[in-house]
Structure 1
Amino acid sequence: MENFYLFVIMSLLFVILPGPDIGLITQNTVTSGKKGGIDTVIGITSGLIIHTSAAVFGLSAIFVKSALLFSIFKYVGAVYLIYLGVTSIWSSKKNKGSSGDGHQTKYKNKSPFRQGFLTNLLNPKIAVLFLTFFPQFLSTGMKPFLQFLMMGLTYTVLTIIWSIVYVNLINYISSWMKKPATQRAIERISGFVVLGFGIKLAIEKRP
């Protein structure tokens, strides 16, 4: 493939760019600790692997060209993001006077892995990204199958590395971030962020 190093730099910029994944990682790391953040990252990574496999085997091309499939995934993903955002905002208000331990216990039955997995899997923009961004780096001297596989795995690895660094950063300043008042503020902010991405996804036109 052509300009592999440029692809890595551009992919890293896409990975670092704030999105619903980062909002979810922040919320789950603060509320469930480092393990919650890592579980979210594993879920997000699992979703990326499925998107990579779909792109490699050509399913993403069919998916993006089908208005019906795109709309189904778009609205299901948007509803799920809106649900996560609303429940996060509602939770921050409901627990305004509660202690930190009670707030932490509330998240014991949550599944950060499932949240990360569904948030990423139900985001059709990942499939669009793979099929609009990746082809720009294809070369004629190598089979597209192998190039898509290499780019998909590279993007996934970069996502894992950045996400783990981010989780550790959040966990490092957890003494401040885990104060009840700070938790409620972060939960509310991340809730609005995720809610905003859900609404944006719902009203966004098909490319």
Structure 2
Amino acid sequence: MAYNLLKGIGAAYLLYLGVRLLLNPRIMVASGQEGQKREERYLTCFARGLTGNLLNPKVGVFYVTFLPQFIPAGGSVPRWCTLMALTHMVIGLVWNAVLISGSQYFAGHLRRPAVLKVMDRLTGCVFIGFAAKLALSRR
């Protein structure tokens, strides 16, 4: 029951994001003074990221199903789970740093209005597809 509720909320959120990207794609990236005016407060950005992570059951399912099989017999479950979760976070941090550094190379091309529109609309279609698949899945 709780999983179905979370699944429904997640599908609705993906649908909302997808429709928003389809109907209102960006045509330019804010920069300089414009970017500072449009920038949101850190708390707002944190809340948006937290909401996205809480509505994504993938991480929770990963921790509950995959990590426990690597806890040594007789080992402290909280200690090992914490160690593996921290390792997972560090790997994610390093990977995201590599992606950010690599994206600097393509930044000029990705800021072009036509490219932004296409990327946003494609992303919107993908989100809508994911929402449909999630909503229609049995498990």
Q: Does the C-alpha gap of structure 1 residues 109 and 203 become closer, same or farther in structure 2, counting only changes over 3 Å?
A: farther
Give the drift of 1:79. 0.9
User: Helix, strand or coil: the match of 2:24?
Assistant: helix
- Structure 1 residues 109 and 195: alpha-carbon distance in aligned structure 2, compared to 1, 3 A threshold: farther
Instruction: Report the structure number with the largest CA radius of gyration.
Output: 2
Q: Counterpart of 1:90?
A: 23
Aligned residues: 132
Structure 1 residue corresponding to 2:122, chosen from 189, 196, 204: 189
Task: Note the C-alpha offset of 1:112.
Answer: 4.6
Q: 1:128 aligns with which of 44, 47, 61?
A: 61
The letter of the residue matching 2:88 is: Y
User: Aligned partners of 1:197, 1:156: CA distance in 2, in Å?
Assistant: 25
Which residue number in structure 2 is paired with residue 28 of structure 1? none
2:19 aligned counterpart, secondary structure? helix
* Paired AA for residue 187 in structure 1: D
Q: Residue in 2 aligned with 1:152?
A: 85
Q: Which amino acid in 2 is paired with 1:84? A: L
Over the matched positions of the two proteins, sequence identity in percent amounts to 32
Q: CA RMSD in A?
A: 2.4
Shift of 1:152: 1.2
Gaps of 5+ in 1: 1-67
Mapped to 2, the partners of 1:132 and 1:90 lie a distance apart of: 38
Which TM-score applies when normalising by structure 1?
0.56
Deviations 1:130-156 (A, max 9, x none): 111112211114111111111111112
Matching residue of 1:108: 38
The runs of 4+ residues in structure 1 deviating greater than 6 Å are none
* Equivalence map 1:41-52=2 (5 Å): none
Q: Residue 30 of structure 1 corresponds to which residue in structure 2?
A: none
Look up the match of 1:178: 111
State the alpha-carbon separation in 2 of the partners of residues 167 and 74 from structure 1.
30
Q: CA deviation at 1:169?
A: 2.2
Indicate how the Cα distance of structure 1 residues 155 and 205 shifts in structure 2: closer, same or farther if over 3 A, else same.
Answer: farther
* Residue of structure 2 equivalent to 1:22: none
User: 1:108 offset after TM fit, Å?
Assistant: 2.2
1:4-15 correspondence to structure 2 within 5 Å: none
* RCO higher in structure (CA 8 A, sep ≥6): 2
AA matched with 1:115: R
TM-score, structure 2 normalization: 0.79
Shift of residue 163, structure 1, vs aligned partner: 1.8
